[in-house]
Structure 1
């Protein structure tokens, strides 16, 4: 079936905004600016960036409210006429999103630390590890049975991760890249936990995806903003925190100084906030209009764009290892997500479908789309 113009627009919006999100965050990381100590240095504030990301997710809540009131007024308060993206249960306890938000907070912060140490393309590729942990957790906690092609797909993903990691080990920035890669992979354990919690305790509430993303964004932003205060007073020696004036875990004041003193850093942070909001909307709409599998394929296209762009502006060197690792990852994810289901078996409605962004979808039939 041919795609409509609106579906093509949504697909393009998802690819573009998803690519901008990773590239904007990395751009801020690589930009130099004067901090509160008067020193010119790179922007190394992963927790402040994570707070900005959650603020972007919170914007989805505002969009939901505006869309809800607009369509209710246009349709004479008939809730049945609401679009699928905002239709859903409004009588629920918002605190059901607290635990997923805490998982998202932890995973995003760790991933942003890793992104500061490795390349944007490796960051995007290594997030494919999510398939492995979510598959294993679904067996343990959801009592699912994975089919043979799921295991084969997971095996290929592991192989792809090893090749991508080897590529970074052979790069010029060997030590930091390897540590960053490990942090990104470990963060996927937390993301997988988030997805299992969402499916087990949140999916039955039938909340509008935009509203769900907004609530998680609100909780994440408020909690992380509060945590930034004690982080300012906790000092730890080490290269990771050496850019902060007094070696704090996070110096948000220094971060704001750098944002206001550099248009590059400010643009990167703004790009992160706006792109995550639009990416959430586009991702949710793609899943509703097309399918979760289509969304997975589009997310792979985003990885290619990020890598090509990074090569074009010469912030990365081309590596055949990484190219090979990416293709192995891509094939593994495609097999796991039943893209080649005609070669293996018919699609099962209980097939576990993994999307790479930021708190994604844990099942093709799962009504929530939590992205981070």
Structure 2
């Protein structure tokens, strides 16, 4: 199997597992510190586990680097996990860690309030802002085709948002609250998070290509800084009172850490789900940075959008959501814009159609041309 296909498949499957595990965990009613059942709503805890998984990448990098160094410098440089420059400034990963912390807390909160399929489809809005930020920081130019794609993706997002507000009346299996404002709030939180993610992806692409950073090492340092930043945020959110629908805790705060141990005690499936989420986050973020380095942020988002097909298949099979044709229409419009932006299909269709038309025109001109008399002498037998 081609290594590019393997990397893309690993990226898609790990991302799919992330979304499904988070949605399953957030639907669990477990006993809190007050003895009453509460949903497992801990966006700050999930963010901490995500950075813990990235920190494990740093340990893997050190182990692989030590093993490969015994074989000589050339073997170390040729290995895909350690390929890159040895000159690394850890502070360059401080800003991405801060942005990822805020974006992840918003994403996990939004996923708690909305559908898993809507969560993944709305994340396609990041490609719009990646294109805009790329013009400012990567000196890219947006052509008329890109602006048409951005308009198409915007129409798809609006369609998805409008339908989510309507289908909450009859499709509410995985929703904690069934009012229109709540699900719209969750969708808007995802959009705000993707604006931060778009800037994060462009920043990572610029620095990793310019400095030739090792993706697994950069992911490890993001994990280190992210754990520190999330720990500070956890202390703050543990004492901040908040209103519904964000107060699914015993004390009515944004993220109640006193509920965590009682909820995990004796719940083996919940613990295994969180462990799987941590490991899949390490793989997903590390592979995503690899795609940004050796390809582009746009291709990273294009590959990330593939997992929505797997999520759709799972939620329909598990009866988490009801198949809705209007939602599929919005998703089709969104995917059309994404494909148009990356010129994956439409440009090839245009070129093949133009070449076929030119061939047909050339054949018609030859057929209509009258035969001209030859000025050459006749052959002598």
Above 0.5 in TM-score? yes
Partner residue of 1:362? none
Partner residue of 1:321? 326
My pick for the range that moved more, 142-151 or 177-186, is: 142-151
Q: Deviations over 1:153-194 (max 9, x none)?
A: 111111111111122111223332211011101111111222
Partner residue of 1:180? 186
Q: Distance in 2 between matches of 1:128 and 1:96?
A: 27
Q: Distance in 1 between matches of 2:321 and 2:217?
A: 38
Q: Which protein has the larger Cα radius of gyration, Structure 1 or Structure 2?
A: 2
Partner residue of 1:167? 163
Please give the root-mean-square deviation of Cα atoms over the aligned residues, in Å: 2.5
Q: Secondary structure at the match of 1:233?
A: coil
Q: Distance in 1 between matches of 2:8 and 2:166?
A: 35
Matched, 1:64 2:69: no
Partner residue of 1:330? 335
CA apart distance, 1:330: 1.3
| Structure 1 residues 139 and 295: CA distance shift in structure 2, 3 A | closer
Q: Deviations over 1:64-120 (max 9, x none)?
A: 2222222222x2243664323321122222011101110111111101110000011
Q: Distance in 1 between matches of 2:248 and 2:97?
A: 28
| Structure 1 residues 80 and 262: CA distance shift in structure 2, 3 A | closer
Structure 1 residue runs without a partner (length 5+): 346-372
Say which of 213, 220, 223 aligns to 1:217: 223
CA apart distance, 1:268: 2.6
Partner residue of 1:116? 112
My pick for the range that moved more, 121-130 or 57-66, is: 57-66
Q: Distance in 2 between matches of 1:76 and 1:182?
A: 51
Q: How many residues align?
A: 340
Retained in 1: the 8 A contact 2:208–2:293?
Answer: no
In the TM superposition, 1:292-307 aligns within 5 A as 296-307=301-312
Q: Distance in 1 between matches of 2:115 and 2:330?
A: 15
Q: Distance in 2 between matches of 1:262 and 1:80?
A: 43
Retained in 2: the 8 A contact 1:27–1:264?
Answer: no
Matched, 1:39 2:40: no
Q: Distance in 2 between matches of 1:233 and 1:78?
A: 53
Matched, 1:260 2:256: no
Q: Distance in 2 between matches of 1:78 and 1:200?
A: 26
Q: Distance in 2 between matches of 1:294 and 1:80?
A: 27
Retained in 2: the 8 A contact 1:105–1:220?
Answer: yes
Q: Distance in 1 between matches of 2:135 and 2:283?
A: 33
CA apart distance, 1:323: 0.6
Q: Deviations over 1:253-280 (max 9, x none)?
A: 3123312342343233222101112223
Q: Secondary structure at the match of 1:170?
A: helix
| Structure 1 residues 139 and 278: CA distance shift in structure 2, 3 A | closer
| Structure 1 residues 110 and 301: CA distance shift in structure 2, 3 A | same
| Structure 1 residues 79 and 90: CA distance shift in structure 2, 3 A | farther
| Structure 1 residues 146 and 82: CA distance shift in structure 2, 3 A | same
Partner residue of 1:106? 102
Retained in 1: the 8 A contact 2:68–2:76?
Answer: no
Say which of 195, 200, 203 aligns to 2:201: 195
Q: Distance in 2 between matches of 1:232 and 1:220?
A: 18
Q: Distance in 1 between matches of 2:203 and 2:7?
A: 28
My pick for the range that moved more, 212-221 or 195-204, is: 195-204
Structure 2 residue runs without a partner (length 5+): 169-177, 352-381
CA apart distance, 1:314: 1.0
In the TM superposition, 1:1-372 aligns within 5 A as 3-4=1-2, 7-73=4-70, 75-78=71-74, 81-172=77-168, 173=178, 174-201=180-207, 203-236=209-242, 238-283=243-288, 296-340=301-345, 341-343=347-349
| Structure 1 residues 59 and 35: CA distance shift in structure 2, 3 A | same
| Structure 1 residues 88 and 192: CA distance shift in structure 2, 3 A | same
Question: TM-score, length-normalised on structure 2?
Answer: 0.81
Question: TM-score, length-normalised on structure 1?
Answer: 0.83
